[in-house]
Amino acid sequence: MAAVQTREKRILWILSIPMALLALSAVYPVYFTINAALKTRKGYVLDRFGLTTDPTFVNFSQAWNQSRLSEYFTNSVVVTVGAVIALLVVASMAGFALAILRFRGRKIIFITILVSLMIPVQVVLVPFYRTMIGLNLIDSRPGLIIAYTAFFLPFSVYLMTAFYARLPRELFEAAQIDGANLLRVWWHIMLPMGKPALVTLGILNTLYCWNDVLISLLVLQDQRTLMVGIAALRGEYTTNVPLLAAGICLAAAPIVLIYVIFQRQIVNGIAVGAVKG
Amino acid sequence: MTQTLTAKDSKSTAKAVSRPKSGGHNAERLAYLFVLPALALVVVFRIIPLIWGLGYSFTDYDGMSAPRFVGLDNYIGIAHDPVFLDSLVNMLILLATLPIWIGLPLVLAILIHQGVPGGKLFRAVYFFPAVLSSVIVGAIFNVLLRYDGSFNLFLKAMGFSAVDWLGNSSTALFSLIAVQLWATFGMSLLIFIAGLSTVSAEMLEAAKLDGAKLLQTWWYIVIPSIRPIIEFAAVVTTIGMLTSMFGLIYVLTAGGPGTSTILPEFLIWLEQGKMNRPGYASAISMVLFLMMAGLAAIQIRIMSRNADI
């Protein structure tokens, strides 16, 4: 037995070498981008790959001010915060009703919401765009908030329904649930009880909204969110890599921060999605 | 909180949720108000547009004059459109790489699960690109994969010659696929690690005592025991291939050179941007929807089969 154990250990040690190389390939682009962002344009042309000896923040201020990233950043924050709050409120209300309350058509409504997972925005691009024009929601931040809520909602409703359905029923048997205080039960019981699921959904939906480019491209025209701004920056400044790199750093920073702080919740959220399927 | 609610009226328990019929009309009506926002959003922005798009796809609507019914003309049109056919071929090539998208994270997940040195760190690092926007990933790799970029520098240092990865139509699609794989395999990795944590340690120990080799225990015990998870990951990955490539294409290659990195979802975007033939764009959308529906059917079958175990 002992021999088998040590042999297995040795195999694992050897295999960790290619794994470490693969990990380096995930770290290198991060190094390259930060390093390039800290170089002057001239410094980058002279030496693209070497570690910068004379770091400068001029690219960051240029990207932030001249390239309007500050404006795009504000748009992204407003839209992401708005959409995440809307998603959590709408999903928690729906989850409460679908998991706890009894009413006719409950199953059909649940299935309808889930089936819409099969309708990504690409499938309805033309009519969705026309719907947004018809409702006067084009090129407005509230319009984009509504669009995000509509397209990221099904998974949130599914998770909240599943979460509430697993809570012990005694919790609600004690509370009188009739028309008069339904809203109070939701506010005072369901929202606090749902906190673990709401935190997970809040983080995942923040990632989806912040990172989106297609829906934002479609809905906003004169305004831009950060990711559309970065895509445009990529097109405009193909030769000014340090400026582009600085923009990338600014756009990715909030997500990197969220990943570092909430790694556990993100990992759990994905595991729940998989195991509950 | 529960107590304050009960204290109000002790008779009220008779109307408790566990007794469905006694909720009264008022509660039932209010329950609809709670699902209404979710249902309305999904119906107005997804389901009605789907039906509307289906209708468009049978007309010659040009965005201006009144639409006229043309039967299957749009579908016949896309079937003869070389760009659409190219996008289908590109998609098939992408789908053919599915085994790598599953195999790579699966092997890594098993190694991490078996306690490879530094496993926790590897997991965090591998998953990291998956939280980044495809725009960020695309913009970075657009620089790294240039002719004078880091990747060619590395190749030259290894004694290979440089390649114009994104500018050459024979390598652009593979570059696009490789970058997306690099950026997202961490997602499947996490799913597999979660699945592996449910495999019983006793079974593995018993296999070891029987003298089973490492690879044998993987093949005969570990992989079959997480088969439902592997199937789930395969379906999710395939859905991602059909609908999550837009951002990367948009920033990395813009569909080019030529049509070499155009996938159906990107073609729909290009067609919608022209604004002059929504019917034609909708026909391509409907083809994508049929593929999504097929995948959903497979997913439901997998889920219901696993529920029977």
What is the residue whose two structure tokens read 């025991």?
B225
Parent domain of A271: 60-276
3-state SS string for chain B: CHHHHHHHCHHHHHHCCCCHHHHHHHHHHHHHHHHHHHHHHHHHHHHHHHHHHHHHCCECCCCCCCCCECCCHHHHHHHCCHHHHHHHHHHHHHHHCHHHHHHHHHHHHHHHHCCCCCHHHHHHHHHHHHHCCHHHHHHHHHHHCCCCCHHHHHHHHCCCCCCCCCCCCCCHHHHHHHHHHHHHHHHHHHHHHHHHCCCCHHHHHHHHHCCCCHHHHHHHHHHHHCHHHHHHHHHHHHHHHHHCCHHHHHHHCCCCCCCCCCCHHHHHHHHHHHCCCHHHHHHHHHHHHHHHHHHHHHHHHHHHHHHHC
CATH of residue B168: 1.10.3720.10
CB of B262 within 8 Å of a chain A CB? The answer is: no
Domain count, chain B: 1
Q: Is residue B189 a part of any domain in this protein?
A: yes
Q: What is the DSSP letter of A229?
A: H
Interchain contact B191–A (C-beta under 8 A): yes
B214 and A11 in contact by Cβ < 8 A?
A: yes
Is residue A51 a part of any domain in this protein? Answer: no
Q: Quick check: A129 contacting B, CB < 8 Å?
A: yes
Rg over alpha carbons for chain A, rounded to the nearest Å, is 24
CATH, residue A96: 1.10.3720.10
Does residue A89 carry a pLDDT above 60? Answer: yes
B194–A271: do the CB atoms touch at under 8 Å?
Answer: yes
Q: Who among A188, A207, A271 is closest to B1 (CB)?
A: A188
Q: How many CB atoms lie within 10 A of CB A23?
A: 19
Counted across chains A and B, CB pairs separated by less than 8 A come out at 337
Q: Does B128 contact chain A (CB < 8 Å)?
A: yes
Number of domains in chain A: 1
Question: Taking 80 as the threshold, does the pLDDT of residue A255 lie above it?
Answer: yes
pLDDT at residue A2, rounded to an integer: 53
Q: Is B205 on the interface with A (CB under 8 A)?
A: no
Residues A269 and A159: their CA atoms lie apart, in Å, by 10
Q: Tell me the helix, strand and coil percentages in chain A, rounded to 5.
A: 80, 0, 20
- Give B-chain residues touching A275 at CB under 8 angstroms: 194-195, 198, 229
Number of H helices, E strands in chain A: 14, 0
Question: pLDDT value at position A271?
Answer: 73
pLDDT of A68 strictly over 90 = no
Residue A243 scores a pLDDT above 80? yes
Q: What is the nearest CA distance from B169 to chain A, expressed in angstroms?
A: 20
- Chain segment B5-45, per-residue pLDDT in tens: 333 333 333 334 444 444 456 677 788 999 999 999 999 99
Contacts of B117 in chain A (CB under 8 A): 12-13, 16
**Does position A179 have pLDDT exceeding 70, yes or no?**
no
Which helix (DSSP H) or strand (DSSP E) does residue A241 occupy? Answer: helix A241-276
Tell me the C-alpha distance between B53 and A48, whole Å: 49
Task: Decide if pLDDT at A82 tops 90.
Answer: yes
Q: Is residue B154 part of a domain?
A: yes
Q: Quick check: is A220 in a domain?
A: yes
Contact B34 A90 (CB under 8 A): no
Residue ranges of chain B with per-residue pLDDT less than 70: 1-26, 207-212, 275, 306-309
How far away is chain A from the Cα of B168, in angstroms, using its nearest Cα? 18
Cis peptide, bond prior to residue B257, ω within 30 of zero: yes
Which domain, by its residues, includes B179? Answer: 97-262
Chain A touched by B263 (CB under 8 Å): no
Burial B269-285 (b: 16+ CB within 10 A, else e): bebbeeeebbbbbbbbb
Residues listed for chain A? 277
* Chain B interface test: which of A9, A73, A123, A270 (most B C-beta within 10 Å): A123
> A172 and B17 in contact by Cβ < 8 A?
yes
pLDDT, tens digit, 9 for 90 and up, residues B219-238: 888 888 888 889 889 988 99
